[in-house]
Amino acid sequence: MTAPERSRLARERLSRELRRLRTEAKMTGTATARATGMSQSKLSKIENGMLLPSVTDVERLVAELSATRETRVELVELARQLHAEAETRRVVLHRGAHRHQQTVARIEARATTSRFFQNAGVPALLQSENYLRVVLNATPAHEQDTAIATLRSRRARMDDLGKRFVFLLAEGALRWRLGSADLMCEQIDHLVQTMRRPNVQLGVVPWTADANLVALHGFQVYDERVVTLSVLTGNATITDPHDVREYLTLFGRLERLAMRGEQLEDLLEGISRDHRKLG
């Protein structure tokens, strides 16, 4: 049984038990709602599983409905667990480049293994200075310097050989022309230099690979705890264990498609030649 299914069954049980207690106490919904300081509509939604009651709501209900001590403890703890799970499954959206960099910097500081996948651009830790400034062109001027400073401190962590960095890019991410041919060739040269670090692994999924999967967006996975990804209006952080495992599985499938070593160097050289021809 998956975590979402267990959570759904637990919510159904909580609402069912609260409804049973009210029925056995021979109290109407209106009277119970009034006695516990909530609207009749809210109580109805709780009893029908449409609304997760707060821990305080459950404490008031079990007290008013004269539940046994054992039942009170059980239902209050059930409500507490459900709220903890709901908080874990919440996707947090951060707005602002500098805030995102700061959030990610804190996550990376604790991570032993950081995994990155991009299908429409180069990951921030691999960007050359010129490429980075083009990326930040759309960012408000007052945020750019802060974002760059935070990113530089993040890059400094790559000198820690106790940390491992695994990067995967779709070939299209390197062919997406973010600027001039010189800019793109400089960026590819920067990748070649970075991939020679002992704690850095770089792979590129060539467009010729029979992928047989869909990767809708880029993402980052830190250890097996946190996923971050960028959307149009901000940057999201995901901590639900089930969702994190899904991203790790996708990363593993993409990793098996990637070119590395001499094959990768040949591919990068070919992409640079193509940029120069177009330039």
* Per-residue pLDDT reduced to its tens digit, 194-247: 999 999 999 999 999 998 998 989 999 999 889 988 876 677 888 888 889 999
For the entire predicted model, the pTM comes to: 0.67
* Count of other CB atoms within 10 angstroms of residue 66: 12
Residues listed for the chain? 279
| Domain covering 92-278, topology | Endonuclease; Chain A (3.30.870)
User: CA-based angle 192:195:197, to the nearest 5?
Assistant: 125
DSSP 125: G
Q: What superfamily would CATH give domain 3-89?
A: lambda repressor-like DNA-binding domains (1.10.260.40)
- Calculate the average pLDDT of the chain: 88
89 by Cβ neighbours in 10 Å (0-12 / 13-18 / 19+) ranks as middle
Contacts of 255 (CB under 8 A, 6+ apart): 166, 168, 203
Look at residue 117 and give its three-state secondary structure: strand
**Amino acid, res. 97:** A
The CA radius of gyration of the chain, in Å to the nearest whole number, is 26
The span from the CA of 74 to the CA of 128, in Å, is: 56
For residues 106-111, average pLDDT? 85
Which structure tokens are listed for 126?
């691999």
The span from the CA of 251 to the CA of 66, in Å, is: 52
What does residue 197 show for φ and ψ, rounded to 5 degrees?
A: -65, 140
125-149 pLDDT, tens digit per residue, is 999 988 988 888 877 777 778 778 8
161-184 pLDDT, tens digit per residue, is 999 999 999 999 999 999 999 999
Which structure tokens are listed for 164?
């491992």
Contact of 27 with 41, CB cutoff 8 Å: no
The span from the CA of 265 to the CA of 269, in Å, is: 6
Residue among 166, 149, 148, 162 nearest 222 (CA): 166
Domains of the chain, by residue range, sit at 3-89, 92-278
